[in-house]
């Protein structure tokens, strides 16, 4: 009968508290890394889809004036407010 000696691995088997403690630690570490990766990906995705086009308020005001949505008086008032 062949007997394989497991003495070298006794610290990691089910008979020792270190085995389940190591497993629990690895599981917590894995979940923590997964959560951090998901948060990073969600933040990056949200940055790209926040609806901002990179235009300043002054750019929008000039476009509205050029399109005839506002008159000269309103344009001058709003431009003055933006510069203050």
**Average confidence (pLDDT) per 10 residues, the chain, 84 residues:** 56 63 92 97 78 77 93 93 84
What region, left, alpha or beta, does residue 64 occupy, with left being phi > 0 and alpha being psi -120 to 50 degrees? alpha
CA atoms within 13 A on the CB side of 73: 0
Can you tell me the distance from the alpha carbon of 42 to that of 50, in angstroms, rounded to the nearest whole number?
Answer: 12
- pLDDT at 70 (0 to 100): 93
Distance in angstroms (rounded) separating the CA atoms of residues 41 and 38? 5
In 1-84, alpha helices (H): 17-48, 57-66, 72-83
Contact 19, 13 (CB under 8 A): yes
């Amino acid at each position: 009968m062949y007997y394989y000696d497991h003495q070298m691995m006794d610290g990691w088997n089910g008979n020792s508290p270190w085995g389940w403690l190591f497993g629990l630690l690895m599981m917590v570490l894995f979940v923590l890394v997964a959560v951090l990766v998901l948060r990073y990906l969600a933040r990056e995705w949200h940055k790209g889809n926040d609806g901002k086009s990179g235009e300043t308020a002054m750019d929008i005001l000039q476009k509205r004036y050029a399109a005839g949505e506002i008159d000269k008086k309103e344009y001058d008032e709003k431009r003055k407010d933006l510069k203050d």
